[in-house]
Amino acid sequence: MARYTGSVCRLCRREGAKLFLKGDRCYSQKCAFNKRPVPPGMHAQSRRKQSEYGIQLREKQKTRRIYGVLESQFRKYFEMAERMKGVTGENMLSLLERRLDNVVYRLGFADSRAQARQWVMHGHFTINGKKADIPSQLVEVDDVISIKDASKDMENFKALRENGSTSVPKWLDLDNANLAGKVLSLPQREDIDITIAEHLIVEFYSR
Domains of the chain with bracketed CATH: 8-95+195-205 (1.10.1050.10), 99-183 (3.10.290.10)
pLDDT tens for the chain, 207 residues long, are: 356 555 555 565 555 565 555 555 545 555 555 555 556 555 455 556 789 999 999 999 999 999 999 999 999 999 999 999 999 999 999 999 999 999 999 998 998 999 999 999 999 999 999 999 999 999 999 999 999 999 988 887 877 777 765 679 999 999 988 899 999 999 999 999 888 999 999 999 998
Cβ proximity of 165 and 181 under 8 Å? no
pTM of the model as a whole: 0.79
